[in-house]
Amino acid sequence: MKRHTWMVGLVIPAGLAILWEIAVRYGVVGGRLMPPPSRLAQTAWALARSGELLVHIEATMTRVLLGFALGATAGTLLGMLNGASPLANRLLDPSIQALRSVPSIAWVPLFILWLGIFETSKLALIALGVFFPVYLGIFTAIQSVDRKLIEVGRVFGLSSAGIALRITWPAVMPVWIASLRTGLGLGFMFVVAAELMGASEGLGYLLLDGQQMGRADSILVAMIIFALLGKASDSVLVALSRPVLRWQDTNRMRL
Amino acid sequence: MTRLSVRGISKTYADGTEALRGVDVHAADGEIVAILGGSGCGKTTLLRLIAGLDEATTGAIEVDGVSLTGTNPAISAVFQEPRLLPWLTAEANIAFGGRRLATDDRQARMESLLARVGLAGYGKRWPRELSGGQQQRIAIARALIGHPGVLLLDEPFSALDPFTRANLHDLLLDLWRELRPTVLMVTHDIEEAVVLADRIVVMRPHPGRVQETLPVDLARPRNRLAPAFDLTKRNVLRAINRSLAEVPSGPGPTAGNGFSPWV
């Protein structure tokens, strides 16, 4: 009984879908701007069968994952550096905070001017979006590590490197992973922005194409696939992090 | 074989607060010395200096006649809170204290200590799955695994209920009989000091200084209900009252010392 309680969440979307389907079937509404589920399934099937959908998914996921890897790596390294070294922090953090105040999308024109309209500028935008939450997360987490636990490390003879590795790192791990999840979410947000600004493939292209061709069905299919991909990537991240976060309350893992 | 000598230790913090002035404390090999005093007498500061977590302004700390700087493998500590590393299991937390031991030796000692503190079978639990008393038992095992010559205890039982506290007093004495570390413990609990210590150093506050040192000439195991036990407690209380009487009405709260002069 308990195991199936999550299905309650399906009641509203499934109910609405059925109602919409019926309303369109019986001519209550037109369905041109809001196609019924059966139409969406047909469109998705057609896109999948032609191989077109896979091309779009591949293009989008490659951009998200590459941009995420770049942004998360840079954010983690700089966050660790500034969290560990007061000098680096005083030197770098004000500039990073200032750059953070610029809405990431505002970089688009400059990125296009500098890096062209192809992949590089897209990756730069996604990486930038991922960078800030990861940087901020790990930086604040390092600064708020319990001084008392650090003292335990000192009393039992850990070097500074030992403390960093065996106290600070595991202590910041939960926040780091949470910030990676936020970053990944933003990665998906910025891949849409990047693909809307001009692309010949990708789910964002499918959105734009749907708009220009007046195909609400392909727009909706792209949106649904974005939702599925986002959820799936987040689940993979959570699953990967589960072994290292086992010591935490299990409740938190489900959030 | 570990003698601990604290000679003429003073500590003034950067903000000008004088925490300790000219403190001398000595502990012979295998002796249990209790540092007794209310808040503001610098007893925790003293322990932090010995542990190497803070630096004294003047004075020296010696183990077997050798002056110490910083933390030292001969000195281990149990804090007021268990301070277990939440990402390590109970047994990994114990093993953490024995980082300097060889792997085989560490594993064997970890298992024996886990059993000695009464938590055999709890080794794979996370700290959050243990009660406060159980966590403090693990912390004691962690402090003892590395064969420390000196064990520092910073009010380790003050947050526990009286039943758990009495149990842990017995456990500590058992382990001490077996391993014979020199123990320096800080407490504000007179009964705890009389139950555990060979000598009691009474401190007075603002700034922290040694008021006087009292021997506890009671055979172990000690009976908390015996008249001689009561007599010792009253002697300690008198010493505390003397320390309070001599406190000038200077800075800091005098009502907050934790003791009321009722003898």
**What percentage of chain A exceeds 90 in pLDDT?**
57
* pLDDT at position A1 over 60: no
Residue B11 pairs with which residues in a beta bridge?
B20
Dihedral angle, C-alpha B169, B171, B175, B180, nearest 10 °: 10
Residue B20 pairs with which residues in a beta bridge?
B11, B208
A vs B: CB pairs below 8 A: 47
* pLDDT at position A218 over 50: yes
Query: pLDDT tens-digit profile of B41-100?
Result: 888 899 999 998 998 888 888 888 888 888 888 899 999 999 999 999 999 999 999 888
Report chain A residues whose CB lies below 8 A from the CB of B78: none
| DSSP 8-state assignment for residue B88 | S
Asked if B145 and B175 count as a contact pair (C-beta separation under 8 A), the reply is no
Q: Residue type for B154, please?
A: D
* pLDDT at position A253 over 60: no
Asked if B74 and B149 count as a contact pair (C-beta separation under 8 A), the reply is yes
Question: Can you list the alpha helix ranges (DSSP code H) found in B87-226?
Answer: 90-96, 103-116, 132-144, 162-179, 190-196
Residue B34 pairs with which residues in a beta bridge?
B185, B200
Dihedral angle, C-alpha A54, A57, A59, A60, nearest 10 °: 180
Asked if B214 and B193 count as a contact pair (C-beta separation under 8 A), the reply is no
Q: Do B87 and A171 touch (CB under 8 A)?
A: yes
The shortest CB-CB distance from B53 to any of A149, A154, A248 is to A154
For position A2, what pLDDT does the model report? 58
**B150-154 vs B199-204, strand pairing mode:** unpaired
Which of B 87-116 lie inside 8 A of A, CB atoms? 87-88, 96-97, 99-100
Q: Residue type for A149, please?
A: L
CB atoms under 10 Å from CB of B88, counted, come to 19
Query: pLDDT tens-digit profile of B7-38?
Result: 888 888 889 888 889 889 999 888 999 999 88
Q: Does B53 touch chain A (CB under 8 A)?
A: yes
Residue that has been written with the tokens 């000439």 in this structure: B217
Query: pLDDT tens-digit profile of A118-131?
Result: 889 999 999 999 99
* 3-state SS assignment for residue B209: strand
pLDDT confidence band for A243 (50 / 70 / 90): confident
Task: Please tell me the distance from the alpha carbon of residue B211 to that of residue B76, in angstroms, as a whole number.
Answer: 26
Instruction: Give chain A's end-to-end CA distance (angstroms, integer).
Output: 21
ipTM: 0.85
Chain A interface, best mutation among B45, B79, B87, B88, by max A CB count within 10 A: B87
Q: Do A247 and B128 touch (CB under 8 A)?
A: yes
Asked if B152 and B78 count as a contact pair (C-beta separation under 8 A), the reply is yes
CA of B85 vs chain A CAs: smallest distance (Å): 7
Half-sphere exposure of B29 (CA within 13 A, CB side): 5
Task: Please tell me the distance from the alpha carbon of residue A135 to that of residue A183, in angstroms, as a whole number.
Answer: 10
Chain A interface, best mutation among B75, B85, B150, by max A CB count within 10 A: B85
Report chain B residues whose CB lies below 8 A from the CB of A247: 86-88, 126-128
Half-sphere exposure of A31 (CA within 13 A, CB side): 17
CA of B73 vs chain A CAs: smallest distance (Å): 7
Query: pLDDT tens-digit profile of A148-192?
Result: 999 999 999 898 889 999 999 999 999 999 999 999 999 999 999
CA of A254 vs chain B CAs: smallest distance (Å): 18
